[in-house]
Amino acid sequence: MNFPAELKYTTNDEWIRVEGDSGVVGLTDYAQDQLSDIVYVEFSGAPGQQIAKGAGFASVESVKAAADVYMPVDGEILETNAQLPTQPESINSDPYGAAWLAKIKIRDATQLDGLMDAAAYEAFCQERQA
Amino acid sequence: MLKTIGVAEVSQLFAGIPAKARYPKLNLPEPLTEMEARGELESIAAANDSTYDLVSFLGAGAYSHYIPSGVDSILRRGEYYTAYTPYQPEISQGTLQAIFEYQSLIVALTGMEVSNASHYDGATALAEAVNMARVIQRGARKKVILSPGLHPQYRATVHTYEHGSDVQLLGEDLDLSAGPEALIELIDEDTSLVAVAYPDFFGRIYDYTALAAAAHAKGALLAVSVNPTALGLLRPPGEFGADIVTGEGQPLGIPLSFGGPYLGILATKQEYVRSLAGRLVGETLDNRGQRGYVLTLSTREQHIKREKASSNICTNQGLMMLAATVYTSLLGKQGLRQVAESCYHKAHYAAAQIGKLKGFSLAYGDTPFFHEFVVKAPLPAAELNRRLLERGIIGGYALGADYPGLEDCSLLAVTEVNSKEEIDFLVESLKEVSRG
């Protein structure tokens, strides 16, 4: 299980990589492992949309479950990953790399302080595995 | 168990039920032996009139067709009698393959690309189509146009489904003589779905090509509720732009049996498969490369997707689905066409003869029809039917109850089971009973 140190994490198992006032958002290694084989990705949010922290902007389906992906912080969607609908399995193979879900413009950077760092998120995942 | 949940005695579990309702006197008769019970039930059953005893021209959504004996003999195989949901493909290949065959037949018949494993009946299927359209469009559109030519009970079911929702249902009060053009005028940017019947409740056949194009031009979907028998003869809805096809599968080898159980048909295009309501079977290969069948795309369903699913229904009408599959397979493409042609020609013969009678006329004589037509009589339909019944004829559907102002109109259905003699007898009887 991989928990990259440079990322921030949510309790809904999203990660965000902050780059200045924008960010890249995706699903964590733990999330893809729990979901098992991902077969479908659909975006409900589109570039230009303002989406509040905790609101859904995509849904992923695996062979056994369906899950929504939520915004880690308030922001505007700049881009969604056009590869994902045709290559949903890349979330399983490369959750922190090629399978990013959205690039966003962060509206309120102070919200990032409320997210977990890698160590806290790893502990949170272990707690749930117990 | 009582100790664990902290209750002293069983009766406390029923404390929430008012005392007077807890153990009501059931007022049952004395017990009977099996032989006596059978005799009593038979005498009760004998009071029923059925299409076996009488000549019937009643349709209105449920049709008397000949069912080849092969249908029943296959249905009666115990292996098919299970109520078990085929979640485990390793023990359900028979059921799963039957569903897959059914889906394939429905796809071929409707001109659609994917069919679900079936629904309860045609009314449910239409209501589910309305919900599907909303899911496909993410709830962005609020108007659903229902043709007044849809079965009144189907429309009532849609109203039940949409009770308390923000969906606005339009179109049902349009003039019954207005064709698809009148529906086109109602379509706007907020229209989610236009739903029509093919043939419609009155038996009429319309070309919906322009309606489909008009709906699509505004971003709306078109749902077409079909009689599958008619599709043996008519262009499939997939060819004129339908996005969803629903229908009542009862005419495909399912007996009238007092109105149910029947079979809901629901089919759509591949691009909408993730919004399709109900169960779905796919064909795949197992780990040894052998062909096998599995429930597929189950993440659409409510046990996984909860409130986001298109439908609360994850079941299907297994035995009825099998009956339709066996019936359609036995008849084949040509056989189904022959049944449809027979219905068409006999109904047209009947309509022509009745149209010639003094005082009778065809309400929509200028519109093409399949095997059902509206007759305007010189007396109220209810009275007409009472007099026909005295002669051993079940008359048409009296339209007044659903369509105020049409009290003197009957909807008559003719199928392949009605002989020329029966039709002539009907015509003769209509002549006699209308004399006073």
> Taking 90 as the threshold, does the pLDDT of residue A63 lie above it?
no
B274 touches chain A (CB under 8 A): yes
Label residue B338 exposed, middle or buried (CB < 10 Å: 0-12, 13-18, 19+). Answer: middle
Query: Are A66 and B308 inside 8 Å of each other by CB?
Result: yes
Q: Parallel, antiparallel, or unpaired: how do β-strands B361-362 and B191-198 relate?
A: unpaired
DSSP code per residue over B249-285: -TTTT---GGG-S--EEEEE-GGGGGG--S--EEEEE
Element housing B422 (H / E): helix B420-433
* pLDDT at position A96: 96
* Residue A65 binned pLDDT confidence (cut-offs 50, 70, 90): confident
* Residue B308 binned pLDDT confidence (cut-offs 50, 70, 90): confident
Task: Identify residue B298 by its one-letter amino acid code.
Answer: S
**The pTM is what?**
0.87
Of B231, B239, B205, nearest in space to B366 by CA: B205
Distance, in Å, from the CA atom of B359 to the CA atom of B317, rounded to the nearest integer, reads 45
Among B76-85, B89-98, B321-330, the minimum mean pLDDT is found in B76-85
* pLDDT at position B78: 87
Average pLDDT of every residue of chain B: 94
pLDDT tens per residue, range A20-38: 999 999 999 999 999 999 9
* Residue B425 binned pLDDT confidence (cut-offs 50, 70, 90): very high
* pLDDT at position A117: 96
Q: What is the mean pLDDT of residues A91-97?
A: 96
pLDDT tens per residue, range B365-403: 999 999 999 999 999 999 999 999 999 999 999 999 999
- Which chain A residues have a beta carbon less than 8 Å from that of B138? 44
> Taking 80 as the threshold, does the pLDDT of residue B307 lie above it?
no
* pLDDT at position B58: 97
Average pLDDT of every residue of chain A: 94
Q: pLDDT above 90 covers what percent of chain B?
A: 83
For B296, the closest chain A residue by CA position comes to: A63
- Classify each residue of B242-255 as buried b or exposed e, where b means 16 or more C-beta atoms within 10 Å of its C-beta: bbbbbbbbbbbbbb
- Among the partner residues A40, A63, A64, nearest to B274 by beta-carbon distance: A40
* pLDDT at position B436: 60
pLDDT tens per residue, range B236-282: 999 999 999 999 999 999 999 999 999 999 999 999 998 999 999 99
Window 70-129 of A: residues touching B by CB (8 A cutoff) are: none
> Taking 80 as the threshold, does the pLDDT of residue B198 lie above it?
yes
pLDDT tens per residue, range B113-170: 999 999 999 999 999 999 999 999 988 899 999 999 999 999 999 999 999 999 999 9
Query: Are A66 and B304 inside 8 Å of each other by CB?
Result: yes
Q: Parallel, antiparallel, or unpaired: how do β-strands B143-146 and B114-115 relate?
A: unpaired
Label residue A30 exposed, middle or buried (CB < 10 Å: 0-12, 13-18, 19+). Answer: buried
Query: Are B138 and A44 inside 8 Å of each other by CB?
Result: yes
* Residue B325 binned pLDDT confidence (cut-offs 50, 70, 90): very high
pLDDT tens per residue, range B341-359: 999 999 999 999 999 999 9
For A42, the closest chain B residue by CA position comes to: B274
> Taking 70 as the threshold, does the pLDDT of residue B286 lie above it?
yes
Distance, in Å, from the CA atom of B199 to the CA atom of B369, rounded to the nearest integer, reads 7
pLDDT tens per residue, range B85-107: 888 888 899 999 999 999 999 99
- Which chain B residues have a beta carbon less than 8 Å from that of A37? none
Distance, in Å, from the CA atom of B355 to the CA atom of B364, rounded to the nearest integer, reads 11
- B354 within 8 A of B17, measured Cβ to Cβ: no
